[in-house]
Amino acid sequence: MADEKKSQVTPAEYREKDEAASPTGDFIAQIAAAVAVIFTFLTLYTDATVTPPKVIKGYETAYGIIILVVAGLTFLFATAVLWSKFLNKDFWIVRSPGWAYSSASAVVIIVAILAMVFAKESYKVNWGVPIVEFLAGVFLGIGGMLKF
Is 62 or 8 the better-scoring residue by pLDDT?
A: 62
Determine the pLDDT at residue 2: 56
Backbone φ, ψ for residue 125 (5° rounding):
-80, 130
What is d(CA 120, CA 25) in angstroms, rounded to the nearest whole number? Answer: 35
Handedness of CA 123, 64, 40, 60 (dihedral sign): positive
Answer left, alpha or beta for residue 10, where phi above 0 means left and psi between -120 and 50 means alpha: beta
Q: Residue 20, Cβ neighbours under 10 Å: how many? A: 14
Determine the pLDDT at residue 77: 94
Band (pLDDT 50/70/90 cuts) for residue 48 is confident
Band (pLDDT 50/70/90 cuts) for residue 18 is very low
Tell me: the pLDDT tens digits for 49-95? 888 889 999 999 999 999 999 999 999 999 998 888 888 777 766 66
Q: Are strands 43-47 and 124-125 parallel, antiparallel or unpaired?
A: antiparallel
Determine the pLDDT at residue 72: 97
What is d(CA 81, CA 83) in angstroms, rounded to the nearest whole number? Answer: 6
Geometric angle at alpha carbon 11, from 7 and 12, rounded to 5°: 155
Backbone φ, ψ for residue 55 (5° rounding):
-120, 150
Domain range list for the chain: 22-145
The pLDDT > 70 percentage for the chain reads: 82
